Structure 1
Amino acid sequence: MTRGRARRRTLAAMTGFMTAQPLPARSKAFDLLLAGALCMTLGFLSIAQAGYGGVLAFAMLGPLWWRRSYPELVFFGVSAVAVLQWLVGIDLFPGNVGLLIALYTISVYGDVRYSRIALGVGGLGVLMATSRYWSNSDWRQQVTMMVALGAVVLGVWAFGERRRTRGLYVAQLEARAAQLERDRDRESKLAVSAERTRIAREIHDVVAHGLSIMIVQADGGLYAADQSPEAAKKALATIGDTGRASLTEMRKMLGLLKADEQRELDPNQPRPQPGVSSLPELIENVREAGLSVDYSVTGRPRDLPALLGLTAYRIVQEGLTNTLKHAGPGARTSVALDFGREMLTVVVTDDGRGGGVAPSTEPGHGLVGMHQRASVSGGTVSAGPKAGGGYEVIAKLPYNLPTGGQQ
């Protein structure tokens, strides 16, 4: 019982959400034209058939202008006019179609509870019409007309109910898609924030440690400068070595946005970082894994800073990894490096014939990692489907890191 109540409340809430949306001007204009056309045709036909009593047809057809804005009010108002017609004894006329249109409208746009009541009102109207307009007929004809009218009423209501259910389903899908998009944006922002926090923390440790040693050595050298020149020289040498070591370590921290999960070397020992010169070995390893890779280099190759070389290597590595995961069997991949005058351009493409490319959305991986690495080097990364099928990653990495830093 509790579950049924909860379901009804949820359905009612969703229906309220649908009907609460502002009605487009296009829909209002359509309802106005519909009501006007029905009045001009069925209204005057009703007058021709029922005389002055046919004027009631305009009271049934005119309110249809507001049928979607006020579905409950329109239905019960039209129903009241139909009851008046029954009490006065006026025969059925073409304008009675307005009652069916109002029933359909309330079943689509009205509150669920009132829609059920409207179906009951329609069933009662069938009994009233049969008892009045076919009272002198044979009982078989009465039953036939009752079944026919009941089928029409039930069919109109059921058709509207089906449209309501479909509308609710579409609204659910739209709400879910919007929520997924918000979640994706939030996860992306959290991933970028986590990477920046990690980099800031590691740089802080490196810089704080190096500066502490340098300050201590500088103070000691200052006091020993007059009495022990050798000690002062030794302090200055220590300052230089510490500064160079800290700068090297800081570059490594900027380049390593994510640590390798498995290290073949001792993690406590310094590990040489790969660069552009290591790409042939990487590509060969990927080929051995079964992926067809074309590798090309254009322009005049040059010696790159360690940070820039590492960034280019990681972007290619990430692109090839995504291709292995998502492009499907039989996909072909190309890696192209263009040494321009001011920047290195890295292009990783595949034809994605197997299943298309979908970069990882896990925080700290995929496109998030690519963008973060490129931004540290002062570059940019663009990625997305390419014309004709497949996926393309393009990274533009300037040779000189802009002053002011990226973090």
Structure 2
Amino acid sequence: MTGILAARDVPAKSKAFDLLFAGALTMFFGLISLTQEHFGGILGLMMLVPLIWRRTHPEVVFFGVSAVAVLQWLIGTPLQGGNVGLLVALYAISVYGEVRYSRIALAVGGMGVLMATSRYNTSNDWRQQATMMVSLGALVFGVWAFGERRRTRGMYVQQLEERAAQLERDRDREAKLAVSNERTRIAREIHDVVAHGLSIMIVQADGGLYAADASPEQAKKALATIGDTGRASLTEMRKMLGLLKQDAQPNEVDPNQPRPQPGVSSLPELIDNVRQTGLSVDYQVTGTPRDLPALLGLTAYRIVQEGLTNTLKHAGPGARTSVRLDFGREMLTVVVTDDGRGAGLAPGSDPGHGLIGMQQRASISGGTVNAGPKTGGGYEVVATLPYNLPAGGDQ
């Protein structure tokens, strides 16, 4: 009985309409029912007044009105205007009631047709009885079918609304994820800029301090390099930090918005800056160079930058470094090697954010990065980056 007694949530406007509708039926058909003898008027009112709750308690209303109709049949009260409440209650349960009770209501309506035909058709002509039975049956089934159609349509509209709401939630979720991914990318960019810039500045500061007494001109040159590197790094970092505003909305992240993203064409300038620190860098390009997608070019640049930064940190004085780009038929191979003491690092030590960042960048582009000590001394970073980005990759 829990399903029958549970009230539906109905808007206030609908409740007001139900009250007016039931009141109009009661005023019209109820007055007609009052002209009936015996209990006809009372029974008519009992079948019309409950229609006020036909939307909130459709099952209770239908089976209550049906019970009054059965009582009418048992005491032999003739059909009267109040019997229209049966059809209204049947329609209500087929629209607002549970499906199982709606099917039961149809069966009850069919039984009511048989009972009405047997009681109120006094003709002995079977054709008249059949006509009355078919007519009442068609009326009952038509009212029920019309209600079922409205229920189905309402469920379809509700499903469309739920689907639209789900799509909107998915869109918002994807937008937030895009913002999160963008922030992660920018954070990685900032790490690369700061780490590389600071490494150069530290090397130059140490060299300038060493040469301050013996070679003032060399010390001035080191200080100038520190200033230039600091200003360039600060300018690039400010541009990227501008994209990390906390009040930025998801739709403000435009993947087509131009950003300061270097590529392989910027590698000679990067290597020249590193050479000014005193590190010997050999730069080679093999194969046939080609135009690379922005993401792929940026990935190659950052891998070389991180490799040179690690060399400055760990290779030690006098180390020699080699950077090689091999433009193959299907992929670009980036190799950064040195002959310094970096190989002395424990293989199981923490690789740091730089190596993790290189691996993440390469994986986004569908490539791989392998880094570790070389046989015979030194350290090597090898990255393979396919030209064709994986489906769904960030362009």
Structure-2-length-normalised TM-score: 0.58
8 Å CA contact retained: 1:64, 1:102: yes
| Change beyond 3 A, Cα 1:191–1:32 | same
Partners of 1:208 and 1:241 in 2: CA distance: 15
**Match of 2:181, SS?**
helix
| Change beyond 3 A, Cα 1:20–1:228 | farther
Partners of 1:363 and 1:166 in 2: CA distance: 41
**Match of 1:270, SS?**
helix
Identify the residue that residue 131 of structure 1 maps to in structure 2: 118
Identify the residue that residue 264 of structure 2 maps to in structure 1: 268
Identify the residue that residue 243 of structure 1 maps to in structure 2: 230
Q: Structure 1 residue aligned with 2:107, among 120, 125, 145?
A: 120
Partners of 1:107 and 1:95 in 2: CA distance: 20
**Match of 1:49, SS?**
coil
Partners of 2:39 and 2:235 in 1: CA distance: 99
8 Å CA contact retained: 2:113, 2:133: yes
8 Å CA contact retained: 2:30, 2:48: yes
Letter in 1 for 2:171: R
**Match of 2:138, SS?**
helix
| Change beyond 3 A, Cα 1:116–1:191 | same
**Superposition pairs of residues 267-346 of structure 1, within 5 angstroms:** 267-270=263-266
Letter in 2 for 1:177: A
**Superposition pairs of residues 100-249 of structure 1, within 5 angstroms:** 100-247=87-234
| Change beyond 3 A, Cα 1:177–1:259 | closer
Partners of 2:115 and 2:149 in 1: CA distance: 27
Partners of 1:25 and 1:67 in 2: CA distance: 14
Structure label with greater radius of gyration: 2
Letter in 2 for 1:163: R
Structure 2: gaps (5+ residues) = 244-253, 268-391
Identify the residue that residue 37 of structure 1 maps to in structure 2: 24
Letter in 1 for 2:169: R
Letter in 1 for 2:265: Q
* 1:107 Cα offset (Å): 0.2
* 1:145 Cα offset (Å): 0.3
**Superposition pairs of residues 372-383 of structure 1, within 5 angstroms:** none
Letter in 2 for 1:268: V
Identify the residue that residue 249 of structure 2 maps to in structure 1: none
Instruction: Tell me whether 109-118 or 126-135 shows the greater mean CA deviation.
Output: 126-135
* 1:157 Cα offset (Å): 0.1
| Change beyond 3 A, Cα 1:248–1:258 | farther
Identify the residue that residue 87 of structure 1 maps to in structure 2: 74
| Change beyond 3 A, Cα 1:213–1:101 | same
| Change beyond 3 A, Cα 1:196–1:124 | same
Instruction: Tell me whether 72-81 or 218-227 shows the greater mean CA deviation.
Output: 218-227
8 Å CA contact retained: 2:113, 2:136: yes
8 Å CA contact retained: 1:100, 1:153: yes
Letter in 2 for 1:134: N
Identify the residue that residue 63 of structure 2 maps to in structure 1: 76
| Change beyond 3 A, Cα 1:364–1:95 | farther
| Change beyond 3 A, Cα 1:120–1:258 | closer
Partners of 1:239 and 1:79 in 2: CA distance: 94
8 Å CA contact retained: 2:205, 2:223: yes
Partners of 1:62 and 1:172 in 2: CA distance: 34
Q: What are the Cα deviations for residues 266-290 of structure 1, in whole angstroms up to 9, with x where unaligned? A: 941129xxxxxxxxxxxxxxxxxxx
Letter in 1 for 2:158: A
Identify the residue that residue 64 of structure 1 maps to in structure 2: 51
Identify the residue that residue 378 of structure 2 maps to in structure 1: none
Letter in 1 for 2:212: A
8 Å CA contact retained: 2:8, 2:55: no
Partners of 1:207 and 1:267 in 2: CA distance: 18
Identity of aligned residues (%): 75
* 1:142 Cα offset (Å): 0.6
Structure 1: gaps (5+ residues) = 1-15, 261-265, 272-361, 366-407
Letter in 2 for 1:66: W
Q: What are the Cα deviations for residues 186-244 of structure 1, in whole angstroms up to 9, with x where unaligned? A: 11222222222212211220122101221232244335434543442232133123224
Letter in 1 for 2:78: D
Partners of 2:21 and 2:172 in 1: CA distance: 44
**Superposition pairs of residues 1-16 of structure 1, within 5 angstroms:** none
8 Å CA contact retained: 2:8, 2:57: no
Identify the residue that residue 86 of structure 2 maps to in structure 1: 99
* 1:93 Cα offset (Å): 0.7
Partners of 2:38 and 2:91 in 1: CA distance: 28
